[in-house]
């Protein structure tokens, strides 16, 4: 019997529309754009500002896109794992809410809480369900509404974090691809240096805890920095050695997007050149469990089948690790979209591959989006279906206006 492994077959993601800039942060606390960029490497972060929306909304948007891109029947999904530190409620799980919102009728679901390492832990957990041979489609989500646990009068933490998340689909394969190996560690030494003091069973909600702002993240940055660099690098070196990899045959290192200086220190120790390192911290900040899958979502176009990826993260606990992935598909496939006339002045996208759906703008979620096209296309109402190739698959804001498309 052939060995079954778990391979990633698709990625979906979501970041909120609202952009919180460094200039706005500098009006809240004593800091500057120059200081934040120099010390952390963040220019802006996304914030979910809508009243009554939590992490499940971010997760739902990401998984909905994932389902579309992978052409998955929701009834075929066996399991949903959500890695988050900012659940909608203490109970029930955010994963259970996600099942209801997406009408996943056959799945079971649960949350994993390992803070910034949560996606690593969830990915290996989901892979083991696939390897058992009993599950065919497992959705793994890393999503956070970090703004809900940030004190925006605390200069040490408020510039760092943002909201967002992404999801991957795991499916069985007998090819030499997928989640190849994992090194995951927890030591518990980090409690004094990175925590939320109140809200758990040790220190419950009270007037005292509210008055003393004990429900927000507390961090001793220098200590966390030291442990993060050391442990992430150690985990990567361990997984590289036991899988006989080298800096030459590693195609991508995907580090947790906590701090640009941490990213630089870790990858320099691994002697991996900067062009092989995925970095989007400048645009999204630290989205905790969301950073790694958001990198996969952001850089999907650059990935090729068989690429060797090293994912690594470090978070509260301390909890850290690294995972070796052999990528399962060419990210650029599916660059052709089909446009169908739905009536005078209206057109709808359909297609597969990265960024085939509209993620932002007035038609977000409706499958309608603005791209630049190489040629002029004429479309008569109710009469045509044509293949289009986007000049820039990343330009996904707005709608069909101002392009060469005439309807």
Residues catalogued as catalytic: 116, 256, 286
Cβ proximity of 167 and 13 under 8 Å: yes
Report the interhelical angle of 55-69 vs 94-102 (nearest 10°): 50
Cβ proximity of 259 and 40 under 8 Å: yes
Cβ proximity of 138 and 93 under 8 Å: no
DSSP 309-378: EEEEEEETTTEEEEEEEE--S-TTTT-EEEEEE-STT-EEEEE-STT-S--SSTTTTTT-----BSS--B
Backbone phi, psi, residue 224, to 5°: -60, -40
Using CA atoms, how far apart are residues 337 and 355, in angstroms rounded to an integer? 10
Burial status of residue 312 (CB atoms within 10 A of its CB: 0-12, 13-18, 19 or more): buried
Which helix H or strand E contains 165, and what residues bound it?
A: strand 163-173
Hey, is 138 helix, strand or coil?
Answer: strand
- Angle, CA 267 vertex, CA 261 and CA 273 arms, to 5°: 115
Using CA atoms, how far apart are residues 89 and 189, in angstroms rounded to an integer? 27
- 38-49 burial, b for 16+ CB within 10 Å, e for fewer? eebbbbbbbbbe
Hey, is 8 helix, strand or coil?
Answer: strand
How many Cβ atoms sit within 10 Å of the Cβ of residue 282? 15
Report the interhelical angle of 221-242 vs 260-269 (nearest 10°): 30
Instruction: For residue 171, give the nearest of 99, 263, 66, 242 by alpha carbon.
Output: 66
């Amino acid at each position: 019997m052939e060995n079954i492994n778990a391979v990633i077959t698709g990625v979906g993601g979501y970041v909120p529309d609202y952009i919180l800039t460094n200039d706005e942060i500098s009006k809240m606390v004593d800091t500057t754009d120059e200081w934040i960029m120099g010390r952390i490497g963040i220019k802006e972060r996304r914030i979910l500002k809508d009243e009554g929306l939590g992490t499940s909304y971010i997760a739902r948007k990401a998984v909905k896109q994932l389902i579309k891109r992978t052409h998955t029947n929701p009834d075929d999904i066996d399991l949903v794992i959500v890695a988050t530190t900012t659940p909608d409620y203490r109970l029930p799980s955010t994963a259970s809410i996600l099942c209801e919102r997406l009408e996943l009728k056959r799945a079971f679901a649960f949350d994993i809480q390992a803070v910034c390492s949560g996606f690593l832990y969830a990915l290996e957990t989901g892979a083991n369900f696939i390897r058992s041979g009993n599950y065919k489609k497992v959705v793994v989500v890393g999503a956070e509404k970090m703004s809900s646990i940030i004190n925006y009068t605390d200069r040490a933490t408020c510039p760092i974090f943002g909201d967002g998340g992404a999801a991957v689909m795991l499916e069985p394969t007998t090819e030499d691809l997928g989640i190849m190996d994992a090194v995951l560690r927890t030591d518990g030494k980090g409690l004094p240096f990175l925590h939320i003091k109140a809200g758990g069973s040790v220190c419950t909600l009270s007037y005292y805890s509210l008055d003393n702002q004990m429900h927000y993240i507390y961090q001793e940055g220098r200590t966390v920095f030291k442990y993060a660099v050391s442990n992430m690098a150690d985990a990567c070196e361990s997984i590289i050695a036991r899988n006989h990899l080298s800096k030459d045959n590693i195609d991508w290192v995907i580090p947790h997007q906590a701090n640009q200086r941490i990213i630089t220190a870790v990858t320099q120790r691994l002697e991996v050149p900067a062009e092989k390192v995925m970095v989007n911290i400048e645009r999204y900040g630290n989205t905790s469990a969301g950073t790694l899958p958001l990198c996969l979502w952001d850089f999907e176009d650059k990935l090729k089948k068989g690429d060797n990826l090293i994912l690594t993260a470090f978070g509260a606990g301390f909890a850290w690790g690294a995972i070796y992935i052999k990528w399962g598909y060419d990210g650029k496939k599916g660059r052709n979209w089909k446009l169908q006339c739905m009536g005078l002045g209206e057109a709808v996208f359909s297609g597969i591959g990265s960024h085939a759906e509209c993620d932002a703008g007035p038609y977000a979620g409706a499958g309608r989006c603005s791209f630049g096209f190489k040629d002029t296309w004429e479309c008569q109402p109710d009469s045509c279906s044509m293949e289009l190739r986007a000049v820039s698959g990343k330009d996904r804001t707005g709608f069909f206006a101002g392009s060469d498309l005439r309807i």
